[in-house]
Structure 1
């Protein structure tokens, strides 16, 4: 049986299994043993993906509502192991030149796409160049600027053939970098670096829009996508490490209401759940509930200020708003998930050139000072021809009880400390992202999970015209420090440049960091093997259901 037919058969079996479960009252407590018992019920892990993906094309995805699925259906040259190490994925091995500029990857024998075609070095070359191609309009194109002539090609100053990635044969990929990049191997495990099938994309550019045409190379297959309702994955028996995959499938519901999702978890309709309502996290913590896990997260929660819209073009206005956010109160009384009040944009957990935490060497840029803020706001507004009474901004956030409670708390802080009234507006996550990209907002809630473990994954967000620079910040000195951090081979010089860049960012305050994330999640006692990388959503690749 070829892979395409097998995928269809698995999809049918999975749907039948789910129907059987529904008919038995929603109790999946008897999932059985997947061993050699041919009559065992399939092991389907049920959870919630809180937003509808905008795209499940690795080049076009831009958030965790997409990457969580992509991390299970695709695999890059390298991958994260169960212990967080960067280990070979599609690549069997690699060699690096003495100068750190050239990597030569050798692909594994027998790796295949889900349609049965071989995964080739040509697929990787095609995928990376496609992501760089300005016609693709990939938000993550900048992550390929580490390739020789990557940025030049993206800006029209070089040809596609000049880009430093080339298939030497079907199994050998040569990659040449602009400068030595210590985190490059980790980047190849990130979802924008996932390959797609060259032949498929050339024959059907819309392949990623429908499960019937969707082709991937990871441990699971996309078998069903009911838009705004659910996404269903099934085990890929053709995956080279299929023997390590215990689940027969994963079902993601798509619910943006955390309370509804929690009710389904409590009703045994979900086996795993994140995010959790903040009151639930607090209650489970108080009860010492063994189903609660506080996962580590390399991430920062912050507010954007649209610096192209008056009066947010004025740094005094932005700083006044930041100075009147009581971050300690937010994490203690509102978020309640073990978060840490932000001290800058770079969170704890990233080593500097000496092996110490970068955050410790950079200091705390954020404080609370209502008196100074009130004066600063009045001055800034006056410079823009406005009075405090006329300042009535709108804060945009994506639908979530947690985001709403934080927004309401900050709304009240600004009312009490600055005498301003703000309006809150909630929209679907993808709508929020689209409006930020269009500049259609004044203040917006945002968050960033590090793509790799280096301060640059945060610092380079706000370069002039950067694809994720939704605050539309521009500062030539800042840009110069980022360029040094990207290109220097001296770690001490890189880290010092990023410390100076962060200092500029916090002085100008185009964004107001609020806290450093954790990722609380709940999992039933019968679920084992879930692994939470520090900068990824939890992996179900090695999960099991044992009842």
Structure 2
């Protein structure tokens, strides 16, 4: 999840203010803030942690496993053996659990499940997570792609000011009735999903309760102003702005916790136990999730027992070692990567590129569309120093944006090297050497409290300015998490620092995200990037990078997929599409009285239902 995902370690971002041991309240300090609570737009781990504990999906990962599942709102996990996977893997049947209630008292019904998935698909916000379900169910990447496929015209020509032109309205109604609605159907007490083709990772996508697979209360959603469920109105609810969503700051699920408040002024979220939860009342009665940007304050809270766990800074981990009241859990497996990306077409409205011109006081919006400009950046990161001095060894080098542990990872692929002489040579070849002769000025941003992103941003500034003193000027800016996300989504950051946590444990979730023209990061990398990866290349046998990625994701042969992913990574490395920095090794710090925590790299934070406190 997506979504950024977190800071750079697998810790929970929680906080609160208690002054004595209280077994019923869980508090902690983190560095991030929720972006939105709309389950179909949230695509970051801070928002995802709240959604994970307030809502539920049909199935869930079993403990720490990435391959085993257990029932949630479905009474069974579909398998071929139990007859709930049919038609060669194209039909999945989920029997919906009876007796479950939403937090407002409404009973869960199969119609709620159908509505939830259809609403998400039809909303499909830009930069959101719904691409996964569009691809899994319909073999396309977005609502807009489906519109173009069915209507025969791009969405930009079908809609004007958000409304369909009269000549296309009937066709859009028909698309819903004949394509979308039949794919997710209620059959008695079951909800049946009919896929366009067999898709192996489908259950891993359904098991991730971060938003896209969660279930809404249909009746309440319609009353709040979400899609009314009618086939001739859905476009009125398509891709609405984040803050205008009725679910932006509201959450009503079936999960173990209820949302009490999201105090955006004081940067605090409060949850309370759902006493009527169908799996039993949670042991923790209250959870406080708050943002504390300063490491020293978080550290003090943990030491005093005012926080149960905190977001740590690995540089300063030794400061809390040896405290008998603090437990440090190390070497936690992760399924994430930290990558320096590029906007090949920065928004002209960006305030992070100065004048935006070749005048020594700005950065042209297309600066990073030159391969040598990107190549120069690959040489100014001191990768070994980052892992040794900043991460304290809790990270590993990776050659591409694909983490170790997934199909297609190849440790023999070349790693980028730190070399300032080569960086200067690359800049001399970029744009005729204008960066050195005329000069450039731009800003690298990071989210406040994320020490790792801050160190990388500072390293970029230091070494670029060292290459051409007085000619290259780099500013470093700290943004709160929602502002950082918004700036990335609008392609305003010339050099965004990505931290991608897997949505599902398959290489497609990383390769498609980082390198495809329809991937989550494509809008952030700009139109020049999209054109580059969608254009056929001689070195790719006359195919585009997009085509190779599509071939890999659609193949059912693991060996074929692995070979394609290696070819894709080689092309990405040779063209410096982005600069992979490291794959994190997780570390968690918590009070010793915290019990029940377990690792799972798919989870966006704590599973509070399993946690309890005991001295």
TM-score of the superposition, structure 2-length normalised?
0.76
What corresponds to 1:5 in structure 2? none
Conserved 8 A contact 1:224-1:231: yes
What corresponds to 2:185 in structure 1? 167
CA distance in 2, matches of 1:465, 1:376: 29
Matched, 1:204 2:224: yes
What corresponds to 2:276 in structure 1? 238
What does the per-residue CA deviation read over 1:429-483, in whole Å, with 9 as the maximum and x for residues that have no partner?
Answer: 1111111121212112221001111111110113114333222322121111121
Conserved 8 A contact 1:27-1:268: yes
Matched, 1:189 2:178: no
Deviation, 1:367, is 2.7
Matched, 1:146 2:136: yes
Deviation, 1:510, is 2.9
CA distance in 2, matches of 1:305, 1:466: 14
What corresponds to 2:420 in structure 1? 370
CA distance in 2, matches of 1:60, 1:176: 24
Please list every run of 5 or more consecutive structure 1 residues that lacks an aligned counterpart in the other structure: 1-17, 33-42, 353-357
Q: How many residues align?
A: 503
CA distance in 1, matches of 2:573, 2:284: 46
Aligned CA RMSD, in angstroms, stands at: 2.6
Provide closer, same or farther for how the CA distance between residues 329 and 378 of structure 1 changes in structure 2, counting only shifts above 3 A.
same
Provide closer, same or farther for how the CA distance between residues 415 and 100 of structure 1 changes in structure 2, counting only shifts above 3 A.
same
Provide closer, same or farther for how the CA distance between residues 414 and 287 of structure 1 changes in structure 2, counting only shifts above 3 A.
farther
What corresponds to 1:90 in structure 2? 73
Provide closer, same or farther for how the CA distance between residues 433 and 377 of structure 1 changes in structure 2, counting only shifts above 3 A.
same
CA distance in 2, matches of 1:444, 1:136: 20
What does the per-residue CA deviation read over 1:78-121, in whole Å, with 9 as the maximum and x for residues that have no partner?
Answer: 11222323222111112111511111111122122112222222
What does the per-residue CA deviation read over 1:312-354, in whole Å, with 9 as the maximum and x for residues that have no partner?
Answer: 110111011112212111111123261112321111122x2xx
Instruction: Find the partner of 1:281 among 298, 317, 331.
Output: 317
Pairs within 5 Å for 1:29-48: 29=21, 31=22, 43-48=24-29
Matched, 1:263 2:296: no
CA distance in 1, matches of 2:127, 2:443: 29
Give the SS at the match of 1:387: helix
Pairs within 5 Å for 1:389-400: 390-400=439-449
Matched, 1:453 2:505: yes
What corresponds to 1:179 in structure 2? 197
Provide closer, same or farther for how the CA distance between residues 258 and 519 of structure 1 changes in structure 2, counting only shifts above 3 A.
farther
Conserved 8 A contact 1:75-1:90: yes
Give the SS at the match of 1:122: helix
Conserved 8 A contact 2:261-2:270: yes
Instruction: Find the partner of 1:541 among 593, 597, 609.
Output: 609
Provide closer, same or farther for how the CA distance between residues 248 and 300 of structure 1 changes in structure 2, counting only shifts above 3 A.
same
Please list every run of 5 or more consecutive structure 2 residues that lacks an aligned counterpart in the other structure: 1-14, 79-83, 151-174, 226-244, 346-364, 535-543
Give the SS at the match of 2:385: helix
Pairs within 5 Å for 1:373-452: 373-382=423-432, 385-388=434-437, 390-400=439-449, 401-416=451-466, 420-452=472-504
CA distance in 2, matches of 1:517, 1:418: 32
Give the SS at the match of 1:208: coil
Instruction: Find the partner of 1:468 among 521, 528, 542.
Output: 521
Provide closer, same or farther for how the CA distance between residues 482 and 121 of structure 1 changes in structure 2, counting only shifts above 3 A.
farther
Provide closer, same or farther for how the CA distance between residues 150 and 379 of structure 1 changes in structure 2, counting only shifts above 3 A.
closer
Provide closer, same or farther for how the CA distance between residues 98 and 239 of structure 1 changes in structure 2, counting only shifts above 3 A.
same
What corresponds to 2:19 in structure 1? 27
Give the SS at the match of 1:435: helix
What corresponds to 1:526 in structure 2? 593
Higher RCO, 1 vs 2 (CA within 8 Å, ≥6 residues apart) = 2
Conserved 8 A contact 1:304-1:445: yes
CA distance in 2, matches of 1:334, 1:307: 29
CA distance in 1, matches of 2:557, 2:256: 38
Conserved 8 A contact 2:273-2:285: yes
CA distance in 2, matches of 1:222, 1:299: 28
CA distance in 2, matches of 1:100, 1:225: 41
Instruction: Find the partner of 1:315 among 364, 371, 374.
Output: 371
Pairs within 5 Å for 1:244-259: 245-259=282-296
CA distance in 2, matches of 1:178, 1:266: 54
Provide closer, same or farther for how the CA distance between residues 277 and 138 of structure 1 changes in structure 2, counting only shifts above 3 A.
closer
What does the per-residue CA deviation read over 1:361-397, in whole Å, with 9 as the maximum and x for residues that have no partner?
Answer: 66234233433332122101316x5435503332121
